Amino acid sequence: MESSEDPFFWRVSQSESLKEYQPGGYHPVHLGDIIYPTSGVKTSRYRILAKLGYGGFATVWLAEDLVRKNQCVALKVNIARLTGRNNEVKILKTCSSLPHDQLGSAHVIRLLDAFEIEGPNGIHEVIVTEVVCGWYPTVVEASGDVDTRKICREVSLGVSWLHGNGIIHGGTYIHGNNIGFRVPRLSEISPDLALKNLEEVIGAQTCIAVVPKDRTYDSTHLPKYLVEENSGAVWLHGRLADIRPDDYCPVIFDFGGAFRQADIMPQPYVPLVFTPPELLFEAGTLSFASDIWALGCTLSQLLFRSTLFGRISNHTQLVGAFAKTFGPFPSAWVDASILVKAGIDNETIANNPPSLDIVSTEWAVTQTTLPWDEASRESPELAKLMKGMLQYLPQDRANIHQVLLSPWLRVQLQDSKSITRLKSNSAFLENSASIITT
């Protein structure tokens, strides 16, 4: 039902907020628009074909590369207030400059182009990448056909490639919304065929006119219409239907909060359920260990199709979920104001076994089959892996090398150069524990 306070006549449920079309906010993008750099040599030109998605800081579009003919790409247009304050282009350029024959590099998105455009709401960064399809509908609808462990293994390999090259994914965290699947043979599809195929799959793209109720409303900052999010995403999902689920190639993307280990950490944009304890209790900085916490939460999400802590709306609820899942807090944290506010004390927690221990015991005794995983005998190994990644203190967590060598993931590190690179990085000197490999 339409809110009486809404300044517009019509609303779109699956689209970005119109209120963010203001100076510093979104850039108005329309189907058929030609996007190119505002200044400098205009060697880049892209025609907008369909909408792939949106977030709080960008809209993402399927586009035709007009310079490199017959190539479809993804165009991410950031909000203007991020320009000059966002590490994403810098990190993606760093990734692009690294050898791509290293173990795990195939599971990090590829940057194709980056430039700036100017519009009614300011100057915006445009990031052009290969096209990836969101993981969630793909995995859920494929259900039993998906080798979930393979996906978990390959996402972990992507993290290992980042950490081995000194890159912390950081503030946006590694989670389900930052993992997609590379769409095979997309380069073989002409934009004309893509549009024809898109029309066959979804019909006309749903566009809702943007009409302010107030005649004096300044419309110069607004798009003429909004495009529903799912049009391009549904089409991409259809493209994946032609390949075997075993061939799905997961890709980590969204590097807006990423940074090099040697650099100053940018302001993190932290999804609540992926917030590591050190940010709540120690005002600590993000680190390789923070990525491991987020990866542990992500593997749980990939396996069970839900977040580890359920529905959480604030930090007080989050620490309550920590206590229920992992048990008593470290002694240095027991007097923390957030625990006092939540009415949580270690004595009470100690009287209730943490749910992760209960689950681990049940798996060990009953060998319960995990969803989409036929190897039920290895469930205790998964529980051991999760416990190693989800330790309260960063220094107690497994590092990515130990994660890869865990019995459940069973990564065969046969690339000697990759092993040397991983072990030489300080990420693997932070922690000598063998919690998950023995």
Q: Which residues are annotated as a binding site for ATP?
A: 76
Q: Which two tokens stand for residue 383?
A: 């529980």
Q: Which of 374, 378, 353, 352 is nearest to 364 (CA)?
A: 378
CB–CB of 225/210 below 8 Å?
yes
> Whole-angstrom Cα distance, residue 364 to residue 344?
30
- Alpha-carbon distance values, 392 to 1, 275, 397 (Å): 43, 11, 8
Annotated binding-site members: 76
Outline where 190-327 has alpha helix (H).
Answer: 191-202, 230-240, 277-281, 288-304, 315-326
> Whole-angstrom Cα distance, residue 379 to residue 367?
6
Question: Phi/psi class of residue 260: alpha, beta or left (left: φ > 0; alpha: ψ in -120 to 50)?
Answer: beta
Outline where 165-229 has alpha helix (H).
Answer: 191-202
What number of CA atoms fall less than 13 Å from residue 328's CA on the CB side?
11
> Whole-angstrom Cα distance, residue 198 to residue 185?
16
Other CB atoms within 10 Å distance of the CB of residue 327:
17
Q: Which of 125, 29, 53 is nearest to 86 (CA)?
A: 125
DSSP 322: H
Question: Which residues, at least 6 apart from 128, have a Cβ–Cβ distance to it below 8 Å?
Answer: 44, 46, 63, 65, 73, 74, 75, 76, 111, 112, 113, 114
> Whole-angstrom Cα distance, residue 235 to residue 227?
14
Q: Which two tokens stand for residue 399?
A: 């590092």
DSSP string over 47-114:
EEEEEEEE-SSEEEEEEEESSSTTEEEEEEEE-GGGTTT--HHHHHHHHHHS-TTSTTGGGBPPEEEE
- Give the CA radius of gyration of the chain: 23
